[in-house]
Chain A
Amino acid sequence: MKRQRTDTSEVWPRMTRRAALLGTVQLGLMGVLGWRMKQLQIDQADQFRLLAEENRVNMRLMPPSRGLIFDRNGVPLATNEPVYRIVMVREAAGDPHEALARLAAVMPLEPEAIQATLDEMERVASFVPVTVKDRVSWDDVARVTANTPALPGITAEVGLSRHYPKGADTAHVVGYVGPISDYDLSQIEDPDPLFQIPKFQYGKTGVEAKLEEQLRGQAGAMRIEVNSVGRVMRELSRDEGAAGADIQLTVDANLQAYVEARMAGESAACVVIDCASGDLLAVGNAPSFDPNLFVRGISVADWTALNENIYRPLAAKAVQGAYPPGSTFKIATGLAALEAGVIDPNETVYCPGYTEVSGTRFHCWKKGGHGNVDYNDSLKYSCDCYYYEVAQRLGIEAMSQMARKLGVGVRHDVPMSAVAEGKAPDPAWKQAQFNDVWRVGDTVNASIGQGYVLATPLQLAVMTARVATGREVTPRLVKTVDGAEQPSGAGGPLGINENSLRRARASMFDVVNSDRGTAFRSRIEAEGMQMAGKTGTSQVRRITAEERARGVSKNEDLPWERRDHALWVNFAPYDNPRIAVAVVVEHGGGGSAVAAPIGRDVTLQALYNGFPPLEAYPAERREEMAQMQVRIRALMDGQPVPVFERA
């Protein structure tokens, strides 16, 4: 056999060695590849599986329907109303310009809306529905639906939006929802995922805000499979969530509507409370506003108008407004004095028209004075000097203690916005607040509900109900939540001597029904319906000595904002108290002239559960009342509320 060429055979061993080395390197690298496969596909498989699921599965939140709000008789106060919008999907619609032109031929469509739609479509993927027009009428929806074959890619969608059928009547009690804002979100610690839904309707004021958690309900969720650009491939599963709880208020919608209509034209508040249960039958605030304006976000013009109105339509004066209670506070002062035994009910105090207290002259409202006045007369005539005397004997501590016992200067827990605390003052408070000592003059002022004493209409109503029943009635606004009855406001005994209470009630009866009582003109004649009450007129300014000398005390001569507040509290029927009413008319003038008639009418409306027969009024009032009933019926039937105007 021929010998092989040396160069070839020489190369061989090295070649084999080198190839083997190369093969080893390759084998090593393949080992790395295999190890990496094991690492990713076996060791970390669960983690990647999770990531793949997160990729492909999207959660779509389905907003639950918000709980409804009803009045005590089941009349809806807040409902969810279907709202329609027209949406367009570009990939199904073909050329968007043509599609929108076809749509414009079917329903009215502004050029701006068309442009906005086209702009939006530039931004989103072709399969994403774009809203062409929101809040379209049912007619337009019908037209679009009927023309579906001619309008590919264009559909009408339905959503739910809050609606307040009673509008302004219940605006302050029910409150309103509005689109959740970034500010709202920043205030919430653990935000519900629902809040991510753009323009999600969230309770802003009133019951809507205070019971937001119960009303909102549980979000439903839909698991959908999406591809890398977010197109929905299919629905994987669906969890329906739970609708919000329905809420029943203690308010009577009819009475509430009457109260609002009765106060139309005033800047006023009125609270009607059930004496036995503490149920708030009506919480009236005038002027009011249309809460429906806020639901989709209020326009700047509307907001400015409401906000700059000097009669503050947005304020729930019945709970937020703290006023000097004026003479209505004499009920508390008198009871405190009787309880403390500093004065005998039959003891008389001489009223010359003023009282000198440590060098300062405190005037009675009646210039010439009332002469000799006992407890009964003091309330009946609303004599100030009697209380100046009583106050000096009693001291502020006992007076304020009684006020708080009766619910004045105490924040009542009702689910409305910005519920005020009022003020039953004492020396410690004054020291802390003003760094000043308490003076006898302060006590004297406080005794007639002036000075530092402040009360909300709600507190005045609670005070009256407590006096009427002798029990610690607490106000209740929510009757049921999701069908569950809420705790009653009927409390235990107040711990005030029944004799004292009886005297107070009897004197309040005389205020209305004695021909020298301050509210005699507002008496009720119907048998078994008679009321007992107390007028109040509280100053919002100090009357200077010079003014007094000139005799400038006529309200009509003053600008509106410097006039006295008119107040009124009453309970009825006298024999068997069912309701208590408090009325405050801001800068309304005298309590007996302005506030008491409102209290009387509201009382009758509540007792008769509708318009009372004219026979309930004294004969001389019946014609006037007939006219007023006609006017109020018209207002309640939806006539526009007259613009508040008082020169």
Chain B
Amino acid sequence: MSYLEYQVKYVPSGLKKLLYVSWPLVLLVAAVSSMGFIMLASIAGGQIDTWAQPQIERFGLGFVLMMLVAMTPIWFWRSMSGVAYLVSIGLLVLVELIGEVGMGAQRWIDIGPLRLQPSEVAKITLVLALAAYYDWLPARRVSNPIWLIPPLLLIFAPVVLVLAQPNLGTAVLILGTGGAVMWCAGVHWAYFATVFGAVGGAVFAVFESRGTPWQLLHDYQYRRIDTFIDPSQDPLGAGYNITQAKIALGSGGFTGKGFMQGTQTRLNFLPEKHTDFILNTLAEEFGFLGSFTLLVLYGLILLFLFHAAMQCRDRFSSLLITGIGVSFFLLFAVNMLMVMGLAPVVGVPLPLVSYGGSQLLVLLIAFGLVQSAHVHRPR
């Protein structure tokens, strides 16, 4: 029995719940999504029905789902955590068997008009499962090595399956999200220090060994790593995309070239302009003002998530909100680092803005969970 159950009588009920929804968060999500609609319309040369309209329709569906999830009591979602997690793992296995491959490494299952990417779902169900686990686990056992095994298994099951797709970007995001939840749950910092130390040491060893008799990888593997880290070494391949992306972003300047005036976008120099590189289109057409505004909106979303997490006084809710927040942060941070040439291109879309059905839906449902926790917190 957690704090939540003791305090159920202080939780709002019925239509009164609507008053307790965090409307600023809803507005911020809608605002960011709207920036996406505008950019999608611009990229399609003013054509609404190419990308913008399907995106708006999915946003509408996702918004309804978000509100439905928000109205449902958070303890129901907590009781569903295990089931949801197992279903998403099942989907990951299924997609491995029957899924379709496209755009490099994304795997999806076609469900009617919707393309379901189980890896997106798994990110949220993992947070649910971890939050439920630590809500159940007495605090004194959190750092006990035996009790570290279940959460690690929970994390590595989806990570391994996603890596097998192979989708490195999403695998890293899942790993980061899971780690962040464990961190917030109070796992002793020494574990984290050990892991970071070990990973750092391994990376250091791999690079130090290069050119020595005890070289750990083959030369071609090093070269692959080199191009991965610094695409400009391969100016016509991977480097071409990132170079053009930076040109698009930088050429926007402070105020941008104007709606539908981005030459890099319009003349097709920019790759993946409606998905992974949509920030560059935004930056080209609306300049620093546009891109920085988006960054500020993302920051405000994080701020409200943090605020909501702090307001919840039960562990499940606050861990859930924190986990979703970290997951959301990692998405846009990795995407932005990638398209601004600070990180290798790993195929992570810009949350809420990039064109893509399942990610938008999953994110909106995740925000629904946040709202549910926020609405149903005891007062």
Contact = CB atoms under 8 A, between A and B. Distances in A.
B306 interface: yes
Interface string A130-169: 0000000000000000000000000000000000000000
A446 B95 CA distance: 103
A10 B3 CA distance: 12
A2 interface: yes
A548 interface: no
B202 to A, nearest CB: 22
Contacts, number: 142
A38 interface: yes
B164 interface: no
A26 B331 CA distance: 12
B266 to A, nearest CB: 8
A8 B2 contact: yes
Nearest to B284: A52
Given A2-B6, A7-B139, A42 B246 contact: no
A30 B337 CA distance: 10
B304 interface: no
A34 interface: yes
B250 A49 contact: yes
- Size category of the B interface is 35 or more
Point out which of A27, A51, A56, A225 has the most chain B C-beta atoms below 10 A from its C-beta.
A51
Contacts of A228: 244, 267-269
A16 B310 contact: yes
Contacts of A41: 249-250, 252-254, 283, 287-288, 291
Nearest to B4: A8
Contacts of B48: none
Contacts of B180: 22
A29 B253 CA distance: 22
Contacts of B266: 227
Contacts of A14: 186
A233 to B, nearest CB: 7
A48 interface: yes
A22 B326 contact: yes
B333 A45 contact: no
A266 to B, nearest CB: 63
B37 to A, nearest CB: 22
Contact of A8 (B3, B250, B251, B268): B3
B346 to A, nearest CB: 16
A371 interface: no
Interface string B316-344: 00100010001001000100110010100
A241 to B, nearest CB: 26
A619 interface: no
A252 B185 CA distance: 104
Given A22-B184, A33-B337, A42 B288 contact: yes
Nearest to A229: B268
B230 interface: no
B254 A45 contact: yes
A12 B185 CA distance: 10
A502 interface: no
A432 B249 CA distance: 72
The contact size tier of chain A is 35 or more
A56 B287 CA distance: 19
A6 to B, nearest CB: 9
A545 B263 CA distance: 90
B250 A40 contact: yes
A11 interface: yes
Given A45-B252, A49-B251, A15 B267 contact: no
B267 to A, nearest CB: 4
A36 interface: yes
A238 interface: no
A4 B1 CA distance: 11
B158 to A, nearest CB: 21
Q: Which of B2, B247, B249, B340 has the most CB of A within 10 A?
A: B247
Interface string A211-246: 000000000000001111100010000000000000
Contacts of B246: 40, 48
Given A22-B180, A42-B253, A49-B253, A8 B315 contact: yes
A60 interface: no
Contacts of B288: 37-38, 41-42
B267 A225 contact: yes
Given A32-B342, A37-B340, A46-B253, 12 more contacts: A2-B6, A5-B2, A15-B184, A19-B184, A22-B180, A26-B302, A30-B295, A34-B295, A38-B288, A55-B247, A56-B267, A227-B269
Instruction: Rank and list the top 5 A-B pairs by shortest CB-CB distance, nearest first.
Output: A48-B250, A52-B251, A227-B267, A45-B253, A41-B288
